[in-house]
Each structure stands twice: as structure tokens, then as C-alpha cells.
């Protein structure tokens, strides 16, 4: 990346400028909070509706507030003095959650609706929204070999029921706040994100964490088998958390991308059966596979077309799945053992 393209050079965000991060008690926003803190930003306000002891990560010397961002007045308080606002708060989870709780997913529209208005009223310079690959037309994802999704594939629209439509509608808010009111907004469509400090149990976890946990559990209990949702031929791409936070920073600070939805995901396509093999390899075990064909599976195939992000940033998420799953597996194993020993764990 040349100096001219360096996001910080464009933005010149001061180290003492107020940054607001919604959803910071969760996985990605927690990692983003740590990332900005490590870059030397001194005024970070991290917000989540979860009580503070339940936050996945608490970064020292960061203002942490437990507040419900679906409430308008709360959003005004949250955005006071904000120079940049990152909205990653949402009621979400893996397929097991978003296929079952569509109303909760749709209700996340309240969060973005109030946060973006509060950010605008507070005079924020930039606003980030975490959209999702679930905003894409499901008709284009019916076979495991479906071609990778490019940004224009969201329209004509037929997003994932509930969760996907909320993302698409909130994207539109971001586009109109730029078009009508001139606030710089950034919209990244995340494809599955995984890594340490992510949800790994409890019903909201996504495939990589769920499979790691099942392998660890089978090993621990000497079970010998593993239940896989679907026939395992479903394909996805998975982005390592470090790539995700670096991508958020670059997208947010790239003026060529204002109000323009962009894929933020890996383009390495992995079948669920392959994911299981990699997790087994890391765990040093081979299990008998039992396929639950009634379980939620989502679309048959989804990958990220990274032509546009390459064109805009000369960059794309590049951590290989095999490389990223190792620390993820080790972290989940530690959580598993800690829980067994009666210690407090994440999720």
C-alpha cells in the first residue's frame, strides 16, 4: 500500500478523538476495540447491552458502558462528542439462530436507525455499519459451486429472511445519510468471521467454532463420532478476525468507498466436510460423521468475490483457513477445559 492510499493519511483521525464502538461486548467489536486501543487511541467508548461481566473482552482504560442501543435516547448519549462511530451491535448468531429468531434479527434495525441519527446529530465525521453476506440474493446461492458473490448481486433483492433484509435496509440508511445529509458512511458486507474470543457455544456460534467445540468434546468424552448439520457439502468462506478488523479500518477510512457496500471476506472456499477434516487434523483425531439433514444449513454455497476490494484497497483478507483455525481451536479448547474446571468462560 502506498502512503497516498494509507487510510490514516486520508483521515487524520486524532489520537484523542472520540471513537464510539457499538456491540463491543461481542466478538468483532471487542476485537476492534482492542485494535484501536493498541494503535494508541485514547478516547474509545465501547458499548454493549450485555452486563459488563458478560463481555467477551474488556480492554483496559477503555470506557465501557452497558446500554441498550435500540433506544433512541441511549444512542444520543452513546454518540456524544463522537468523531467516528462503528455500529457492530446486532442480535445475531449462526444459522441455528438466524433461521429461528427472525424477529429478533429484524429488530436490530432499531439499533442502526437510532445510532446513525445520533451519530449525525453529534456531528460525527464517519459512520461504519457491519452488513453481511446474508444481504445477497439467496437465489444465487443454491448450489455448493455457486459463483462468488460480487457487490451488485444484492439486487434484485431476495436477501436471507429476517437477518439479511435488516442488513439490506440498514445499508440503505447509510447510503441516504450520505446522499441527503453528507455524513460519510462505510458499509462492509462481512462473510463468516471466526477466531479467538468468538461465540463458541450456546446456540449463536457459527460453523468453525461449533465444529472445533464438537471435536474437542468428542475427544474429551471419547465419543468417537461427530454430528454435522446437513450433508456437509455446503460451502462458505471464512475470514480470520485479524483480517476483519484491519479491513474495517481500511474501508472506514477510504473516501472512494463512502456509502458503497463492499465485500469483506476471504475468497478461500471451504466445504463443511473439509472444515471438519481440518479441525480433526488439528485435534489429532478422526471421528465417525453423522449428518443431521433436518438441522439448519442456510444457503448451499457462498463465497466472496474480492475483485472490488482488490481494486479499491489493493488488499483482501489473506489468512488461510488452516492457519487461522489453529489458534481458534486452541482458544476454544482452553475455554472448554476452563468451563469443565468450573472457571468463568466466554459465551
Query: Where along the sequence are the contacts to ligand NAD (CB under 6 A)?
Result: 22-23, 25-29, 48-50, 68-70, 88-92, 111, 130, 132, 190, 192-193, 199, 206
Where would I find the beta strands (DSSP E) of the chain?
A: 19-22, 44-48, 63-66, 84-87, 126-132, 184-190, 193-194, 225-229, 235-237, 239-240, 262-264, 269-271, 288-292
Do 269 and 237 touch, CB atoms closer than 8 A?
yes
Nearer to ligand NAD, 186 or 218 (CB): 186
Q: How far is the CB of 247 from ligand NAD (least distance, A)?
A: 12
Q: How far is the CB of 68 from ligand NAD (least distance, A)?
A: 5
Task: For residues 161 and 167, give the distance between their C-alpha atoms in angstroms, rounded to a whole number.
Answer: 10
Place of cell 465444529: 211
Nearer to ligand NAD, 48 or 218 (CB): 48
Catalytic residue among 56, 86, 127, 163: 163
329 is catalytic: no
Do 67 and 78 touch, CB atoms closer than 8 A?
yes
Identify which of 135, 83, 79, 134 has the alpha carbon closest to the alpha carbon of residue 111: 79
Nearer to ligand NAD, 141 or 287 (CB): 141
Element spanning 242, H or E: helix 241-252
Q: Which three cell numbers stand for residue 76?
A: 444520543
Q: How far is the CB of 166 from ligand NAD (least distance, A)?
A: 9
Nearer to ligand NAD, 83 or 98 (CB): 98
DSSP 63-91: EEEE--TTSHHHHHHHTTT-SEEEE----
Nearer to ligand NAD, 109 or 312 (CB): 109
- Letter string b/e over residues 83-103, b meaning 16 or more CB atoms within 10 A of that residue's CB: bbbbbbbbbbbbbbbbbebbe
Q: How many CA atoms lie within 13 A of 270 on its CB side?
A: 22
Task: For residues 27 and 17, give the distance between their C-alpha atoms in angstroms, rounded to a whole number.
Answer: 24
Q: How far is the CB of 105 from ligand NAD (least distance, A)?
A: 8
Angle at 94 between CA 90 and CA 96, to 5 degrees: 115
Q: How far is the CB of 284 from ligand NAD (least distance, A)?
A: 27
Do 87 and 19 touch, CB atoms closer than 8 A?
no
Catalytic amino acids? 163
Amino acid at each position: 500500500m502506498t502512503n497516498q492510499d494509507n487510510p490514516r493519511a486520508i483521515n487524520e483521525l486524532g489520537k484523542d478523538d472520540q471513537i464510539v464502538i457499538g456491540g463491543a461486548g461481542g466478538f468483532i467489536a471487542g476485537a476492534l476495540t482492542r485494535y484501536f486501543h493498541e494503535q494508541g487511541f485514547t478516547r474509545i467508548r465501547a458499548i454493549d447491552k450485555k452486563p459488563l461481566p458478560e463481555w467477551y473482552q474488556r480492554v483496559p482504560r477503555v470506557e465501557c458502558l452497558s446500554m441498550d442501543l435500540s433506544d433512541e435516547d441511549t444512542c444520543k448519549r452513546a454518540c456524544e462528542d463522537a468523531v467516528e462511530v462503528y455500529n457492530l451491535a446486532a442480535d445475531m448468531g449462526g444459522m441455528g439462530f438466524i433461521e429461528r429468531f427472525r424477529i429478533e434479527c429484524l429488530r436490530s434495525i432499531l439499533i442502526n436507525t437510532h445510532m446513525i441519527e445520533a451519530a449525525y446529530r453529534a456531528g460525527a465525521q464517519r459512520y461504519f455499519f457491519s452488513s453481511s453476506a446474508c444481504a445477497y440474493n439467496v437465489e444465487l446461492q443454491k448450489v455448493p459451486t455457486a459463483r462468488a458473490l460480487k457487490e451488485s448481486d444484492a439486487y434484485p433483492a431476495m436477501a436471507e429472511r429476517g437477518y439479511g433484509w435488516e442488513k439490506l435496509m440498514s445499508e440503505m440508511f447509510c447510503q441516504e445519510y450520505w446522499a441527503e445529509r453528507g455524513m460519510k458512511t462505510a458499509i462492509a458486507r462481512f462473510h463468516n468471521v471466526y477466531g479467538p474470543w468468538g461465540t463458541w457455544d450456546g446456540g449463536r456460534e457459527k460453523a468453525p467454532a461449533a465444529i472445533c467445540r464438537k471435536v474437542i468434546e468428542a475427544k474429551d468424552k471419547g465419543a468417537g463420532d461427530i454430528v454435522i448439520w446437513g450433508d456437509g457439502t455446503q460451502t462458505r468462506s471464512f475470514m480470520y478476525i485479524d483480517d476483519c478488523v484491519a479491513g474495517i479500518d481500511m474501508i472506514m477510512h477510504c473516501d472512494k468507498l463512502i456509502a458503497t457496500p463492499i465485500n469483506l471476506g476471504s475468497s478461500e472456499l471451504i466445504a463443511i466436510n473439509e472444515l471438519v477434516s481440518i479441525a480433526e487434523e488439528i485435534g489429532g483425531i478422526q471421528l465417525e460423521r453423522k449428518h443431521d439433514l433436518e438441522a439448519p444449513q442456510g444457503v448451499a454455497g457462498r463465497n466472496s468475490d474480492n475483485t472490488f476490494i482488490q481494486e479499491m484497497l489493493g488488499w483482501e483478507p489473506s489468512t488461510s483457513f488452516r492457519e487461522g483455525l489453529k489458534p481458534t481451536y486452541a482458544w476454544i479448547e482452553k475455554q472448554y477445559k476452563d468451563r469443565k474446571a468450573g472457571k468463568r468462560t466466554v459465551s
